[in-house]
């Protein structure tokens, strides 16, 4: 997650120095860097810093032997129907024997990489060597269509074909709603979007299906209900209602009246906050991937939660007390990847644990891809799995979820769906066809209002 809003020059320098040092140490032959929220939360005023980031990255001496560069930065924030704020950056070393890039318009390989360095910024909708999409609008709250989505590229590296997919899923808007149950309403929303994405790849008749890495900000959160239960054994509960701003906080106190844990809509604070969530006990509550293990794999996690860290360079190892620390940033892969990855030499870890890298610490994975594992014709590997179809049905049919998701404010009132918006009508999840219509949401009589969700950008 690259957020340049606060102290941009200082944070960019720290981030780049730490990242480049890791690249120099590892020396990969092919490097993929996926960014979310390019430009930060105030992207309208911060896009100039993104250009500076690209320039400084490309001009670094550590990348002098990477002769092929492809950069895709989705920066057109004025295009509500397209903007994802995703950035995909790829460097290929001169020592690679062969390299090809897929064209999602012609559904075939580019003839050759004539241009060694291509940087696509701003509006990148017509760039055919990437596929980019926002999640369908009825996945989103009310009629507000925020930036969540994915962007993928396809590469043939030394005769082995893989997809590299950047993804950004929905966050937890309220800690109070998140700790009511597991899976939380937010967890179910993320699962729905994730299954939708993977199924889209499996059902892609035009481009076929190939092994893929899926990495970005999944916004996966710990089982907050379970974490609270674990932390509050033998504590008493005290609910505090602030009528003035209609907010609620729950204090968990010990026998002498000291607050040990406080949970509010945007507060999650423990008396031993900076040490407690770096202990091994928390990992057992990292459960969002459990129902997806047949379709997504991951190397073992042996690093501390990657979010939410202080964005202050003077406090680089401290967590903010806004959310329960969690492993939001992940590198997942399709099960087919095990056939083309060597069993030796992998490493899955965090970058910049001791320096300020923003509120999200970057996560990296190094693996050795076996050469000449194909397929040269990806369209021959279209794959439809029963487990994926079952997951799609289970995720899609829980209509109660969408009613609950719409009602997560402290005040407990369903937000009004009245608005004008570019509307996306989506067929069943097993269909690859998406129809676009320009309609007033208030006139959409055939859409169950329970499908209108509520999200707050934080």
pLDDT digits (tens, 9 = 90+) for 192-210: 899 999 999 999 999 999 9
Report pTM: 0.82
> For residue 70, what is the domain's CATH number?
3.60.10.10
**What is the domain count for the chain?**
1
Helices within 179-240 (DSSP H only): 185-202, 224-231
Question: How many other CB atoms are found less than 10 A from the CB of residue 302?
Answer: 11
Q: Using an 8 Å Cβ cutoff, are 178 and 169 in contact?
A: no
- Asked whether residue 275 is domain-assigned, the answer is no
Residue-wise pLDDT for 382-439, tens only, equals 554 555 556 555 554 443 333 333 333 333 332 322 222 222 222 233 323 233 333 3
Report yes or no: 304 and 329 within 8 Å, Cβ to Cβ. Answer: no
Domain range enclosing 314 = 8-221+288-451
**Quick check: is 274 in a domain?**
no
- Within 8 A by CB and 6+ apart from 357, the residues are 14, 15, 18, 309, 316, 351
**Is residue 246 in some structural domain?**
no
Is the pLDDT reported for residue 446 higher than 90? Answer: no
Specify if 54 maps to a domain.
yes
More confident residue, 33 or 457: 33
| Domain-embedded: residue 395 | yes
Give the tens place of pLDDT for each residue, 82-133.
889 999 999 999 999 999 999 999 999 997 777 799 999 999 999 999 999 9
**Domain contains 256:** no
Cross-strand partners of 350: 363
Predicted confidence at residue 439, as pLDDT, reads 31
Q: Place 379 in a pLDDT band, splitting at 50, 70 and 90.
A: low
Cα–Cα distance between 323 and 309 in angstroms, integer? 10
In the chain, what percentage of residues exceed pLDDT 90?
A: 66
Question: What pLDDT was estimated at residue 396?
Answer: 45
Residue 419: closest CA among 84, 133, 140, 188: 140
DSSP secondary structure code for residue 136 in this structure: P
Q: What is the mean pLDDT of residues 229-258?
A: 88
Is residue 246's pLDDT more than 80? no
- The per-residue pLDDT for 3 is 46
Contact in structure between 125 and 82 (CB atoms under 8 Å): yes
- Residue 114 inside a domain? The answer is yes
Q: What is the pLDDT of residues 284-324, one digit of tens each?
A: 999 999 999 999 999 999 999 999 999 999 999 999 999 99
Residue 423 lies in a domain: yes
Beta bridge partners of 262: 251, 269
Query: What is the pLDDT at residue 139?
Result: 72
Q: Indicate the average pLDDT of the chain.
A: 81
Q: Is the pLDDT of residue 143 over 50?
A: no
């Amino acid at each position: 997650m690259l957020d340049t809003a606060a102290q941009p020059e200082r944070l960019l320098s720290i981030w780049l120095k730490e990242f480049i040092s890791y690249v120099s140490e590892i020396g990969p032959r092919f490097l993929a860097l996926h960014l979310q929220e390019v430009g930060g939360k105030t992207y309208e005023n911060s896009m100039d810093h993104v250009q500076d980031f690209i320039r400084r990255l490309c001009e670094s001496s550590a990348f002098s032997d990477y002769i092929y560069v492809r950069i895709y930065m989705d920066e057109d924030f004025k295009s509500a129907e397209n903007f994802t704020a995703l950035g995909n950056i790829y460097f290929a070393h001169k020592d690679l024997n062969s390299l090809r890039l897929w064209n999602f318009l012609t559904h075939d390989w580019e003839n050759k990489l004539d241009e060694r360095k291509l940087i696509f910024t701003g509006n990148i909708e017509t760039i055919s060597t990437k596929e980019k999409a926002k999640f369908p609008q009825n996945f989103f709250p009310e009629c507000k269509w925020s930036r969540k989505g994915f962007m993928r590229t396809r590469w043939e590296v030394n005769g082995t074909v893989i997809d590299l997919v950047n993804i950004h899923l929905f966050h937890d808007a309220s800690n109070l709603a998140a700790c009511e149950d597991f899976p939380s309403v937010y967890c179910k929303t993320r699962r729905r979007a994730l299954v939708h994405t993977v199924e889209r790849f499996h059902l892609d008749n035009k481009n076929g299906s190939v092994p893929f890495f899926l990495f970005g900000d999944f916004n996966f959160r710990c089982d907050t209900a379970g974490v609270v239960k674990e932390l509050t054994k033998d504590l008493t509960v005290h609910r505090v209602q602030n009528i003035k701003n209609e907010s609620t906080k729950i204090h968990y106190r010990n026998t002498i009246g000291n607050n040990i844990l406080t949970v509010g809509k945007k507060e999650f604070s423990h008396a031993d906050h900076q040490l407690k969530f770096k202990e091994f006990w928390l990992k057992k509550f990292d459960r969002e991937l459990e129902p997806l293990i047949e379709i997504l794999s991951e190397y073992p996690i042996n690093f501390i939660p990657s979010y939410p860290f202080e964005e202050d360079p003077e406090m680089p190892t401290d967590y903010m007390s806004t959310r329960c620390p969690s492993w939001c940033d992940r590198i997942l892969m399709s099960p087919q990847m095990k056939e083309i990855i060597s069993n030796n030499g992998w490493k899955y870890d965090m970058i910049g644990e001791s320096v300020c890298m923003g509120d999200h610490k970057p996560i990296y994975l190094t693996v050795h891809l076996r050469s000449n594992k194909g397929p040269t014709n990806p369209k021959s590997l279209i794959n439809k799995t029963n487990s994926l179809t079952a997951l799609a049905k289970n995720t899609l049919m829980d209509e109660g979820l969408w009613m609950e998701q719409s009602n997560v404010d402290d005040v407990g009132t369903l937000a009004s769906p009245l608005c004008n918006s570019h509307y996306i009508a989506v067929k069943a999840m097993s269909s690859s066809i998406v129809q676009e219509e320009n309609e007033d949401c208030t006139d959409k009589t055939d859409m169950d209002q329970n499908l209108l969700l509520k999200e707050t950008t934080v």
